[in-house]
Amino acid sequence: MINLVRVKNPMPEQAPQTRIQNFEEVCQGYTEDMAVREAMRCLRCRTKPCMNKGCPTHVHIPDFIAKVAEGDFEAAYEIIRETSCLSPVCSRVCPHENQCEGSCVHGIKGQPVAIGSLERFVSDWHAAHHPEEIAEIVPTAPSGHKAAVIGAGPAGISCAGDLADKGVDVTVYETLDVAGGILTYGIPAFRLPKDIVEREIDKLKAKGVKFVTGSSVGKDCTIDDLMKKEGFESVFIGTGAEVPTSMHVPGEELPGVYTANDFLMKINVGKAYLPENEGLLPHADKIVIVGGGNVAMDAARCAIRMGASSVTIVYRRSREEMPACDAEINEAMAEQIAFHYLTNPVAIKAGPDGRVNKIECLRMELGEPDASGRRRPVPIEGSNFEMDVDCVVMAIGTKMDSAVTGTTPDLATDKYGCIVTDENAATSRPGIFAGGDDVTGPLTVVKAMKAGRTAAASMYAYMSGQ
Ligand SMILES: Cc1cc2nc3c(=O)[nH]c(=O)nc-3n(C[C@H](O)[C@H](O)[C@H](O)COP(=O)(O)OP(=O)(O)OC[C@H]3O[C@@H](n4cnc5c(N)ncnc54)[C@H](O)[C@@H]3O)c2cc1C
Ligand code: SF4
C-alpha cells in the first residue's frame, strides 16, 4: 500500500547542542519500521527518473525500495550492490538533493522519497547482519594479470576492487600512511564514520589487493618504473586534485592560518580532538573559515567541535551562489556557525606573538555573471573592516598535483593540469588509465567511484587483449 504522506520520515539525529561536543555521526539512521514506512512512499514510477536521470551510477532505486517496503532488506542490498560498490559511503555523502532525490517526482508537490536514507539503512542493515562477511571473502582465482593503482581514494579503491574480482593481482600505491583518500582525511567522522571506510578497505585486502602506503608515485618511483621494472601491465591513476589554491593575500603564511586539507587532516587522521593529541592543533577561540563550498562547511563544523567559541564563514558571494549543499549549510547554521556573505579577505595580520590575530575584509556586491554563470562579486571601495581571530582556515578550492603527470612522458593533460581520458578512461599512453578528480577536477565520491569502475573494465579488456 502506498503511503501518501508528502514529507519524508525524519532521520533521527543528535541535537545540535549535543553533537557540537562530539565527533560521533550526526544522523543516526532509520529503524526497520521507519525504513518500511518511508519506502511505502515510493510510487514505483514507470519512467524511474530517480534512477535514470538522477543517479550517476543508475542504482535500481525503485526496485530496491520495493524490497525495503516488503521487509526483504537483504534483497534490497543485493540490488544496490549490482551497481554501487561503496553504498555505505555514497548513501551518507552523495549530494542526493541534486541527484536521485532531486529527480524524484514526489519532490514536485512535497518532499522526495528519502532515497539516501533508505540506501544507508539497507547498507547498515547488511553490515550489521553479516559480521562475518570479510572473513568469508574468497579471492577470485588468479587471471595471470598484474595491475597497479595509484591513489587509494574512492576512484582507486573502486578500480582495485573490480580488478581483484576479475582475478587481477592488484597493488595500490598511496602517498599517505592511510588508505581512503578524502573519505579518510577530508570528510569528518560526524558525516562519515571512519570504521565504514576501514571496512571497505578491509574487504579489498580480503580480496587480495595489496596496499603500499607512504609511497608517492612521481617521487619514490615513476609509472614507467612500475610498468618496466615491476611488471605491471596496466596502471590506473586516481590521485585526486588535492593541492590547495591560494588567495594570494598578505599573511596567508602566518602561524594559525591553515589550508582546509591540513586542518581537516589534523582532525580526521591526527585525531587532534583527543586529549592525548593535544598540541597537534593549538586551541583557537575565534575561527574564520574562508570559502562557501562543502569543504568550508566541514571545516567550520569541525572547528566548533574543537571547542571554538565563535566560528564564522566568510564567503564573497551571497547565499544563493554558495556551492555547498543546502543540507550542509542548514546543519552548519543549526550548529551556531555564523555566515558573513558578500565578504572577502584582503589581509591576514599577526599579533605581537607573531600568530594570526586579525583578518581584514572588504564588503562585496554582486555584478554581472562571470564564466561560471554566477554573479561576479565586486568590491565596495572603502568598506574594509577587521575581525579578531586566532585561527583562519582557507577552504577556497584545490587543483591537480603534477607529481605523476610531470614524470610520465606523453601523458596528455588539459590547461588545468587534469589528465585527458576518453570515455573508457584511457589516457594518451597505452595501458595507462585515469579517473576521478584528477580527470574532472574536484567533483563527487560517486563520480570518482564510477570512473574507477569504468577504468577497471577497460584495464581488464586491455590486459586480456580484447
Ligand atoms: C573536505 C571534503 C569534503 C567532501 N565532501 C564530499 C561529500 O560530502 N560528497 C561527495 O560526493 N564528495 C565530497 N567531496 C569530494 C570527494 O571527496 C572527491 O570528489 C573524491 O574523494 C575524489 O576521489 P578520488 O579518488 O578521485 O580522489 P581522492 O579522494 O582525493 O584520493 C586520491 C588519493 O591519491 C593519493 N595520491 C595523490 N597523489 C599520489 C601519488 N603521487 N602517489 C600515490 N598516491 C597519491 C592521495 O593521497 C589520496 O589518498 C569532498 C571533498 C573534500 C575535500
Ligand atoms: S522518482 Fe521517487 S517515487 Fe518515483 S520511483 Fe523514484 S523514488 Fe519512487
Nearest ligand to residue 157 Cα: 1
4: pLDDT strictly greater than 90? no
| Fold agreement between 16-129 and 246-396 | no
Q: How far apart, in Å, are the Cα atoms of 426 and each of 120, 441, 460?
A: 32, 17, 12
Q: Quote the pLDDT of residue 372.
A: 79
List, for residues 235-246, the tens digit of each pLDDT value: 999 999 999 999
Core vs surface per residue 307-319: b (16+ CB within 10 A) or e = ebebbbbbbbbbe
CA atoms of 63 and 72, how far apart (whole Å): 11
Compute the distance between CA of residue 263 and CA of residue 393 in angstroms, rounded to an integer.
7
| Nearest bound ligand to the CA of residue 108 | 2
Closest residue by Cα to residue 92 from 250, 223, 199: 199
What are the pocket residues of ligand 2 if the criterion is a CB atom closer than 6 Å to any ligand atom? 42-45, 48-50, 61-62, 104-106, 113, 115
Query: Which of 45, 68, 96, 103 for a ligand 2 pocket mutation test, highest count of atoms within 8 Å of Cβ?
Result: 45
What pLDDT was estimated at residue 382? 95
> Is 279 or 49 the better-scoring residue by pLDDT?
49
**Is 348 buried (19+), middle (13-18) or exposed (0-12) by CB count in 10 A?**
buried
pLDDT at 2 over 80: no
Q: What is the pLDDT of residues 117-171, one digit of tens each?
A: 999 999 999 999 999 999 999 999 999 999 999 999 999 999 999 999 999 999 9
Q: What is the pTM of this model?
A: 0.95
The bound ligand whose nearest atom lies closest to the alpha carbon of 115 is 2
Ligand closest in space to the Cα of 6? 2
- The domain covering 146-242+399-463 belongs, at the CATH homologous superfamily level, to FAD/NAD(P)-binding domain (3.50.50.60)
Q: How far is ligand 2, taken at its centre, from the CA of residue 51, in Å?
A: 8
Could you tell me the distance, in angstroms and rounded to a whole number, from the CA of residue 228 to the centre of ligand 1? 28
Contact 355, 389 (CB under 8 A): no
Alpha carbon of 172 to ligand 1 centroid (Å): 15
Average pLDDT over residues 279-297: 95
> What's the grid cell of residue 130?
553479516
pLDDT-derived band of residue 371, with 50, 70 and 90 as boundaries?
Answer: confident
Residue nearest to atom 1 of ligand 2 (CA): 104
How many angstroms separate the alpha carbon of residue 196 from the centre of ligand 2? 27
> Which residue among 7, 9, 48 is best mutated to probe the pocket of ligand 2, counting the most ligand atoms within 8 A of its Cβ?
48
**SS3 for 77?**
helix
Look at ligand 2, atom 4, and give the residue with the nearest C-alpha. 45
Ligand 1 in reach of 152 Cβ (< 6 A):
yes
Please answer whether residues 74 and 45 qualify as being in contact, where contact means their C-beta atoms are separated by less than 8 angstroms. Answer: no
The answer to whether the CB of 186 is under 6 A from ligand 1 is yes
For the record, the C-alpha cell of 385 comes out as 573592516
Q: Decide: 404 in ligand 1 pocket, CB within 6 A.
A: yes
Please give the distance, rounded to the nearest whole angstrom, from the Cα atom of residue 120 to the centre of ligand 2. Answer: 17
- Distance from the CA of 168 to the center of ligand 1, in angstroms? 24
So where are the chain's domains?
16-129, 146-242+399-463, 246-396
Q: What is the DSSP letter of 298?
A: H
| C-alpha 327 to ligand 2 mean position (Å) | 20
CA 199/CA 203 separation, integer angstroms: 6
Q: pLDDT value at position 147?
A: 98
| Percent residues over pLDDT 90 in the chain | 95
Alpha carbon distance 171, 169 (integer Å): 7
Report how far residue 196's alpha carbon sits from residue 88's, in angstroms, rounded to the nearest whole number.
7
Per-residue pLDDT for 5 more than 90? no
Q: Does residue 373 carry a pLDDT above 90? A: no
pLDDT at position 279 over 90: no
What's the mean per-residue pLDDT of the chain?
A: 96
Give Cβ neighbours of residue 128 (< 8 Å, ≥ 6 apart): none
* Domain at 16-129: CATH code: 1.10.1060.10
**In the predicted structure, residue 3 carries a pLDDT above the cut 80:** no
Does the CB atom of residue 156 touch ligand 1 within 6 A?
yes
Distance CA 137, CA 125 (A): 19
Q: Is 175 in the pocket of ligand 1 (CB under 6 A)?
A: yes
What local confidence, expressed as pLDDT, does residue 370 receive?
Answer: 85
Average pLDDT over every residue of 70-95: 96
CA–CA distances in Å: residue 5 to residues 9, 37, 40, 67: 9, 10, 10, 19
Q: What is the mean pLDDT of residues 70-86?
A: 96
Q: Of the bound ligands, which one is closest to the alpha carbon of residue 298?
A: 1
Domain 246-396 homologous superfamily, CATH: FAD/NAD(P)-binding domain (3.50.50.60)
Q: For 408-430, what is the mean pLDDT?
A: 97
The minimum-distance atom of ligand 2 relative to the CA of 49 is 1
Render pLDDT for 168-200 as a digit per residue (tens, 0 to 9): 999 999 999 999 999 999 999 999 999 999 999
Three-state secondary structure call for residue 210? strand
CA 270 to CA 185: how far, in whole Å?
9
Distance CA 316, CA 376 (A): 9
Question: Could you report the per-residue pLDDT of 398-411, keeping only the tens digit for each?
Answer: 999 999 999 999 99
